[in-house]
Amino acid sequence: MSTNRKWIPARKTHLHYYDDIPLYYRTPSGNISLYKPAGMSFTHESLERKYAIDEFFIHPENRLESIEAAQKGFNSSLRDQISNAELSDIKNSLTELVEETLSAPRAGGLTRVPMTVNQLVDGFSIKPAVIKNFAKISFNDYTTALHSVNVMALTIGYCYYVSLPEDQTRKLGLAALLHDVGKTEVPPYLLKATRRLSDDEFDQIKAHTTRGYEILKSYKEEEIVEIAGASMEHHEKLDGSGYPHGKTDISYFGRVLSIIDCYEAITNDDRPYRTALSPMNALELIKKDVDAGKLDKKIFRDFAYSLTNFKRK
């Protein structure tokens, strides 16, 4: 294989999804060798071997296939899992999956994401109270993937509270999960920067809105294309002070996401130099922007109530 295409490390927790994908491993001498061909599952014996082997890899040519296989495997049991399994396990797998999915958004990695969101909406509608706990489970590593999963869970909770029709809930949940997809094209060092950014650097971060729009628009799946506008709008403000366009006529999806995105980021340590605020303090801070005419008052109030109430209004 050419040297500029790297082997993709395979997550151990995902190995059982890869029946149809050839898997490779690193031999003690440091070479990469075939572990199992496509069409072979892990037997008990191979699972035992698995623990003796540290690193598994996927060939770059199988990257998209491997993402699809993981999404398919995860989706197929998700609805039942929500009622039975440990929520933190589901969230961990989901966050890992989103992370993997976001590694190839331009290559088609998002194709099966609507299905994942639909399964979650279905699962959550059986047990709405779990949404609150789901959004609260946190991991040490705060990534765009974890942020996106949290924004999605909070958004579905809001949708349930305001009795948004199911088709709209699915769309808004998907828009929430993919709102920051454009960040995959912002240099990671800028996203993690602890110093003051230059205007040019800040412009690069702001561009995640238009990049996200372009990525989502490039899909053939209608449900993905439909939410591109919300990704573009999630940093716009009603008084025109937002970006990328400073527009004031923001769609409903865009107005919801701007509030929930902000709440999620400030209730987590989204930047190394910032300390997370409590939900109450976060709401107070966001209310300043609501009072200043930047964010939607009614959506804000409903969202605040949705954090504590699970009964529909």
Site residues (vs Fe ion, CB under 5 A) = 180, 261
Q: How many CB atoms lie within 10 A of CB 282?
A: 20
Q: Judge whether 177 and 227 are in contact, CB under 8 Å.
A: no
Give least dist CB 95 to Fe ion, A. 14
Q: What's the closest the beta carbon of residue 193 comes to Fe ion, in angstroms?
A: 15
Question: Which of 57/263 has CB closer to Fe ion?
Answer: 263
Backbone φ and ψ for 35, nearest 5 degrees, come out as -95, -45
24/56 Cα distance (integer angstroms): 6
Q: Which is nearer to Fe ion, 23 or 102 (CB)?
A: 102
The smaller minimum CB distance to Fe ion, of residues 25 and 134, is found at 134
Q: How many CB atoms lie within 10 A of CB 214?
A: 15
Is the Cβ of residue 68 or residue 180 nearer to Fe ion in the bound state? 180
The one-letter code for the residue type at 299 is I
Task: Find the shortest distance in angstroms from Cβ 37 to Fe ion.
Answer: 40
Q: Least distance (Å) from Fe ion to the CB of residue 255?
A: 14
* Residues present in the chain in total: 313
Rounded Cα distance, 294 and 1, in Å:
52
Question: Residue 130 in contact with residue 87, Cβ under 8 Å?
Answer: yes
Nearer to Fe ion, 148 or 169 (CB): 148
CB of 145 to Fe ion, least distance (A): 11
Nearest to 189 by CA among 178, 205, 200: 205
State the minimum distance, in angstroms, from the CB of residue 210 to Fe ion.
Answer: 11
Q: How far is residue 259's CA from residue 299's CA, in Å, rounded to a whole number?
A: 8
Nearer to Fe ion, 261 or 302 (CB): 261
